[in-house]
Amino acid sequence: MEQNLSLQPAQSASTCLNYRNLIGTLLYISTSTRLDVSYSVNNLSRFQNCYDESHYKYALRILKYLYQTRNLKLIYRKNLDADVIDTFVDADWAGDKVDRKSTTGYIIRNFGNVIYWKSRKQGSVTKSSTAAEYVALSESISEIKVVLNLLKDFKIKLNKPVKVYKDNSGAIAIAKFGNLTKNSKYIEVHYHFVNECCEKGIIEIIKVESENNVADILTKALGRNKFEAFRQALRIL
């Protein structure tokens, strides 16, 4: 999908286009193995009741990209030296030009292999990038706890906190120390369980530079070079 593309909802859905079926197909692919199209598909899926030819055109472009890269696979490699579980998290603040809601993206890995990913629009508008990043952090850790419970069922015990990689210093400060500013006090109380997870040693939040945060591929449309670099880093080869 093009950078800085701003799709607008149509007045009504065009019944002559098979848009919903196409989006359903793309959603299946993007949640199965091709996380590289998750952001674009998630973005287009927001218009299933208000689409026109412009939305259909971009959906077909995604389908064409998938066909042209049909030999790419999500690769899994044995690497027992890697962390049992780690996570990359990012958010694009107010990226939706229609309602100014932010987009969450996170990737959970097992021994360096991608096992779960999510690209989704946040449920409410946030007043700052730090708040949006903190909401994304909260959402990712909720899923981490699900994965940890699954590992527990398999009798796999973690002896150290799950590393969570984040590129926003403000969100990291709130999570680690509960440092709230004027712009962040309104954050819903239930998001503060992140701070509790830090204190209990369930997670360890680590600063990562933005150019190395692979979760960025799930929050916005990237330039070709960065997109392909992240795709390769995620072992879609």
Domains located in the chain, CATH noted: 19-69 (no CATH), 85-234 (3.30.420.10)
Half-sphere exposure of 121 (CA within 13 A, CB side): 19
The tokens describing 109, both together, are: 């890995």
Residue 204 has pLDDT above 70, yes or no: yes
**How do residues 105-159 score in pLDDT, each as one tens digit?**
999 999 999 999 999 999 989 888 988 999 999 999 999 999 999 999 999 888 8
Residue 185: what pLDDT?
63
Condensed to tens digits (0 to 9), the pLDDT of residues 11-48 reads: 777 777 899 999 999 999 999 999 999 999 999 999 99
Which tokens sit at 95?
């990226």
| 18 DSSP 8-state letter | -
List Cβ<8 Å contacts ≥24 apart for 199-203: 201/161, 202/145, 202/148, 202/161, 202/162, 203/141, 203/144, 203/161, 203/162, 203/163, 203/164
Q: Are 107 and 88 in contact (CB under 8 A)?
A: yes
Question: CA–CA separation, 135 vs 65, rounded Å?
Answer: 31
Specify the amino acid at residue 25. Answer: T
29/108 Cα distance (integer angstroms): 18
SS3 letters across 61-117 = HHHHHHHHCCCCCECCCCCCCCCCEEEEEEEECCCCCCCCCCEEEEEEEECCEEEEE
- pLDDT exceeds cutoff 90 at 176: no
pLDDT, tens only, 186-199: 676 667 789 899 99
Tell me what percent of the residues of the chain surpass a pLDDT of 90: 76
Whether residue 234 has pLDDT greater than 80? yes
Residue 237: is its pLDDT beyond 70?
yes
Beta strands 203-207 and 162-166 are parallel
Would you state the pLDDT for residue 37?
A: 98
pLDDT at 195: 87
Task: State the pLDDT confidence band at 104, using cuts at 50, 70 and 90.
Answer: very high
Tell me the mean pLDDT in the region 53-69.
97
Mean pLDDT of 202-221: 97
For the chain, the straight-line distance linking the first and the last C-alpha, in angstroms and rounded, comes to 20
CA angle centred on 116, ends 161 and 123, rounded to 5°: 95
CA 152 – CA 42 distance, rounded (Å): 31
- Provide the mean pLDDT of the chain: 92
